[in-house]
Structure formats: structure tokens, C-alpha cells
Structure 1
Amino acid sequence: MPTADLSVTVSSTTRRVEGADRPGRFDPATEARLDRLDHQATAHVEANRPESTRTGYATDWNAWLRFCTNADLPPAAVRSGTLVAFVEWCWHQPARPPRPGRPPGRLTAPATIDRRLSGVVVTARRRLKLHLAQDVAEEARALLKAKVKQMEKDGETRGRGPAPALLVRHMEKIAATLPPNRFGIRDLSLMTLHFAIAGREHELAHLRVRDITEDPEGRGLIVDVRVSKVAPRTVEVPFGSRAHLCPVRAWRRWKAELGQDVDPDSFAFRAVHNRWKTVLKNRLDPVTIGDILTRIGARAGLDIRPTGHSPRRGLVTESSRAGNPDAVAERQGGWAPGSKVMRRYREEDDGFKENALHGVL
């Protein structure tokens, strides 16, 4: 929605309702104008969120609407009890809504259900303006946790599981198998910079050439991540100790392929013509970036199947192994201070680093 739609005309006729029972109430006409502005503001903010976030929230809310129809509940009935019932309902639903002529798919993964809880609560607060307690989904998540434990006990599997971490040893193998052409130069720069900034796929997809600049003191790159799921951030990328995996050197080689007169407003990572190997104008979308990582991982014969989230997990893992504080990785990848998600990435790999057997055997 254009910003102009959010403009407010200040009128000297605006007045408070006489005898209002609480401050801040206005006459009905003014209240109607303010309500319209509230809804326009919500729509405007929503329109400026990353497409992947909007799509995810829309999918979560559609699942909630299907549940409400099934349970004969109004959509605004977002309560602790209804969210518990929503988890129970989601647990028995396929990952995708059933369609005529299509066989039922896998049951919904626990991570998807957990995300749906967040999506429903966030949408109810923003779109319906509901004042919900911070712990409104606490009991629902407790039920989900119990179901996951029982699922693991029964040997049941759901979903593809978390993305594996792309580690330095994996990137070593990938770099050795990349072709010596523009595809290889681009893919090496994409992979190493993706890892260096602990980026999300859409963050890499929206980077412009002007967003990646050389540090004035020659220490590496300064990457301005303007489009992000959480908040924009600036990431410093120093030179790597391994020249063949250095994100600074890899970016310089790829930028040279873009040409001396490259438009600074053009996208940093773009498609390459399959036959002529010329760099095209259209950018790589987030899905394609994930597909590239999967493809180059398969070519290298890795013991994992990397996805677009693997470099993000990989940096946290390698940074933890190097002894860096959590706050360093949080700042690099744009996690909120004290992020539980980021710490789960680290803790999954801490079994050898923090072990009760150290100094014992």
C-alpha cells in the first residue's frame, strides 16, 4: 500500500466525545477515521514484510481458519484452550491441505505446528487487534512437546527434519568440484558469502551490488543487509585464512564477472545463461539459491544434503567450535540477543566440546 494512503488530515473540528468514560475517546466520525488509519497502517506494514514471512503467516492463518470451521469457532477465539485444541487438530492433519485426486501426504511436522502457533498468535494481534497474553500458547506448546517425545519413543518420523549445517569441510569439497567458469565463480561467492553473514536465502536474493563494499582500511567487505526477516543489519566480513574459501576474494572474482560498468543498483547474485554463460539481469530468487546449494553439494558427494538454511547453521556451529561468544554469532546472523533458536543450533554440536568425560578417561 502506498505511503500516501497513510496520510492524516489534521482538522480543527476533531473533539473528544462529551462525557466519555475514559480518555482518548473521540466523536464517532473521528473514531471511524482513526480505525481506518489503524487498518491501513497494519496493511502497509504487512506489505513491507519479506514475501516469505507474509506467505508463512498466511498459510498459518489459513490452517487456523480451517480448524475454526471444523470446530465451529469464530476466528477471533484465540485462547489458551483453543490453541491446545488447534495443536491436537494439526497433529492429525497432512502437511498439505487435501485435494481431490491427490493422495494424502505426510502428517504435519512438529516444527510446522510450532510455527503455526506463532503465526496464529501474531496474526491475531496484528490483524484482529486482540490483546493476548505473552504465554497464551504455553500450554499448546507443552502438548506439542509431549507429542514429540511420544513420537520419538514410537520411532515415528515427520517432515524432513532440520537443515544440516554446512561446515568448512563441506565447503572444501564443494570448492574442489566447482567448474572453472562463471557458474563456478558465482556459486563459490554465493556459498561463502551466505556462510559469512549467516544469511537467510531471501537476504542473499535481495542484496544489491552497492550493498557489498570494500572496507576503507582494506580489512575485508562490509555487507549491508537491507532486506531481512527480522531487521536490517551491517555485517563485516574479514579475509579468510583459506584463500580458496575466502568470501572477500570470491566476491571480487564474481564482481569482476559482472563487468567494470556494472549498475550498483543491480542485484549482486544473478542468473547465468546456460549456453552462453553470460550474466543475465534477473536475480536469483530465494528458492533458487537453496536449490544451488543442494545441487553443488550433490555434485561434491557430501554426506549431507545442504539447503538454503545450511550455511546459516554452519556458521553458528563453526563459530562455536572456534570458541567465539554467542553474541558474536547473534550479531553476524541478525538473531535477537539471547535467541533460543540460535542456541539450539550451537547446542546440537556441543556434545564433544562440553563433555563430562573431559579429563576423566
Structure 2
Amino acid sequence: MTNTELSVSASTTDRQVRVPAPARFDTATEDRLARLDAEATRHVEDARPKRTRDGYAADWRAWLRFCAEADLPPAAVRSGTLVAFVEWCWHQLARPPKPGTPPKKLTAPTTIDRPLFRRRRHRPPPAQAPAAAGRRRAGPRPAQGQDQGPGQNRGDARPRPRPALLVRHMEKVAAALPENRFGVRDLALMTLHFAIASRAHELAWLRVRDVAEDPEGRGLIVDVRVSKVAPRVVEVPYGSRAHICPVRAWRRWKEEAHFDDPDGFAFRRLHNRWGTVLQEGLDAETVGDILTRIGARADLDIRPTGHSPRGLVTESARAGNADAVMERQGGWAPGSK
């Protein structure tokens, strides 16, 4: 061991001796720490929306119910138990059938994903983990015309309520996009995202085979297989404005990308320098980051996010369409506000 290593080791040991372990705090200090813990928990709970609290509580109840039926302790988070939990959720959390309807529908994958993610990370109910719930990280925005890898810049605070992307915004974006492969992909991503009023994760999970030509030549048929509510099939007609027409934009992107695998991702990452189409798909976070980036490039008066293209409902309402039409197009639950 070198002198430097000995010095570092001695310094570390000295700090460990001088800093007392939590169990060595006196009673008054422990009381103050307990009060801070309680206040932190209460602060996080007060800041979290009620729907989120209810959802997390339901996730925890589902895990406890699974553990009870499988005769397992709640802390038994192993690969085998997680696989069994997914299978259990697939059947046990399915919606019961309504009168006069077919047998009960299996649970949507996105409904299973949230409790599975929390168990995979060994997360207790939110009330027991205020520090984890309160963490936020804000990383630098990507450079113009660049993609981010999965998981980068997560935790970036986005404005709420999320602004709606409208036709006038898309026209400005289309005029500002670069004349390269990034511009071709981003225009197709934005316009198709808007045309099916999709959530970011719905667009990210689209495969090439899911975007098909209408057999009667009226545009596209998009099969949204992964959805928060339920899968849906959406008809996408030609746009009245050719420069932001989702059908034309998709065809141009498909021709530019040279897709050779129908099961590959419909929207993929591009090499930041060469613009080469990569095999990796875009995750939901990156879809939102792309919309934010191209919105900033066009100097929009809003900061679009991955949820902004659901602003289709605003344009549809202005056109006088019935609520049922909008619900089918964007996958809203019937009667949704």
C-alpha cells in the first residue's frame, strides 16, 4: 500500500470515528430528527395529488394481496416473485365485465408496470419514503438536433398544466425544422402524435407494422397496442395542410428510415453526428424531450411536452366533433373530463 493510500485510509477512518452513528445520538436529538421525519412525510403527502396517493396505495394493497395468496413475505422481491406477480396482475386485476359485455378484459400492461416498478426497486409505500419522493434532478437540455439516450435527464420539471399543442404551433415548428433526417423524423413524430392524440408512451411503443396504409386509400390505420386505458385502432386521414399532414410525413420518414423489420420501432434514435437510423426506439421521456426541443427551436409561446399533442381534443372541439369521437381518437375513458 502506498503512502497516499495509507493517508486516504487513515483520513476515512478518522472521519468515521469523529462522526457518530445515528444510534449514538442523544434523546433530544433523536426527538428532533423524528419530528423532521414526520414533517417531511406530511409535506410530501400534502404535495402529492390525491389520485397519485390512491394509485400508490392500491399498488401496495395489490402486492400485499399477492404475497398473502402466494404465502410469501412482502419483502420477498426476487426475479421469480416478480414474474409470478405480473402473471397474477394480468388475471386478478382485470376489470370485471359489464352486464351484456364479453368476458372480463385482461389488465393493461401499463397498469401492471407501475406496481412492478415499485417492487423491483424495493420501494415501500410513499408515506415511508419521503426523501425518494422529493428528489428532483434538472439536467441540461439536449443540443439542437440531438437525441438523448433512455433514462437521461429524468426528473426534469415540466410545467403544469401541460400546454396543448395546436395546429398553429405545428405550422411554426414545421417551418423551423432542419432539412435533414432529424427534421423528417421529428415532423412525422409530431404530426402522428397529434393525429392520434397519443400519450408519449403510446407513440414510443408503436411498431412499424402498427402504422398501416388504409386499404381504401383514405390515409393511415394506426393500431395503438400499448395504452394507459385500453388498446385502440385510430384512423388518420390526410391533413388539409400538406406541410403538416401526418400521412405524408409518415411516408417520408418511412422511406427515409428504410425499415426492414415490421416489428421494429416506428420512431427510432438517430446518430447525433451522422444521422444514421439506429435500432433503438425512443422512450417516452425522449419523445417529450424532442417535442420540447423543436418547440424551443420554433420559438413557440408554449413549452410543449410529451402530453401536449393531446391538444387535438381542443382543435376537435372547435371543429364541433362529438365527445365520443374525441374519446375514440385519443383513448380517453367514456365520460372523461
TM-based fold match above 0.5: yes
CA contact (8 A) 1:291 1:308 kept: yes
Equivalents in 1 of 2:199, 2:126: separation in Å? Answer: 30
Deviations for 1:100-142, whole angstroms, at most 9, x for unmatched residues?
xx9xxxxxxxxxxxxxxxxxxxxxxxxxxxxxxxxxxxxxxxx
**What is the identity, as a one-letter code, of the residue corresponding to 2:196?**
I
Aligned-pair CA distance for 1:48: 7.4
Paired with 1:320 and 1:311, the residues of 2 have a C-alpha distance of: 14
2: CA distance, partners of 1:276 / 1:179: 14
| Residues 166 and 312, structure 2, Cα contact 8 Å, conserved in 1 | yes
Superposition pairs for residues 344-359 of structure 1, below 5 Å?
A: none
Residue in 2 aligned with 1:167?
166
Percent identical residues: 66
Q: Which residue identity does 2:176 align to in structure 1?
A: T
Q: How far off is 1:40 after superposition? A: 6.9
What SS does the corresponding residue of 2:321 show, helix, strand or coil? coil
Determine which of 285, 291, 295 is the counterpart of 1:287.
285
> 8 Å contact 1:205–1:269 — kept in the other structure?
yes
Alignment of 1:5-20 (within 5 A): none
Distance 1:239 1:321, change over 3 A: same
For residues 1-361 of structure 1, the aligned pairs below 5 Å read 35-36=69-70, 41-44=87-90, 49-50=108-109, 54-55=113-114, 65-67=125-127, 96-97=133-134, 160-259=159-258, 262-312=260-310, 314-340=311-337
Cα deviation, residue 57, structure 1: 8.2
Extract unaligned runs of 5+ from structure 2. 1-67, 72-83, 94-105, 138-156
Distance 1:267 1:40 in 2: 24
Q: Distance in 1 between matches of 2:308 and 2:161?
A: 9
1:277-296 Cα offsets, whole Å, 9 max, x none, are 11111101110000000000
Q: Structure 1 residues 164 and 63, CA, compared in 2 at 3 Å: closer, same or farther?
A: farther
Greater RCO (Cα-Cα under 8 Å, separation 6 or more): 2
Shift of 1:161: 1.7
Higher mean C-alpha displacement, 179-188 vs 268-277: 268-277
Say whether the 8 Å CA contact 2:204–2:284 is kept in structure 1. yes
Q: Measure, in 1, the Cα distance between the counterparts of 2:117 and 2:276.
A: 38
SS at structure 2 position matched to 1:265: coil
Distance (Å, rounded) in 2 between the aligned partners of 1:239 and 1:199: 17
Cα distance in 2 for partners of 1:326, 1:263 equals 37
Report if aligned partners of 2:90, 2:112 keep a CA contact under 8 Å in 1.
Answer: no
Kindly report the root-mean-square deviation, in angstroms, between the aligned alpha carbons of the 2 structures: 3.4
Judge conservation of contact 1:166–1:310 (CA < 8 Å) in 2: yes
Contact kept, 8 Å, 1:226 with 1:233, in 2: the verdict is yes
Alignment-mate amino acid for residue 262 of structure 2: P
Number of aligned positions between the proteins: 225
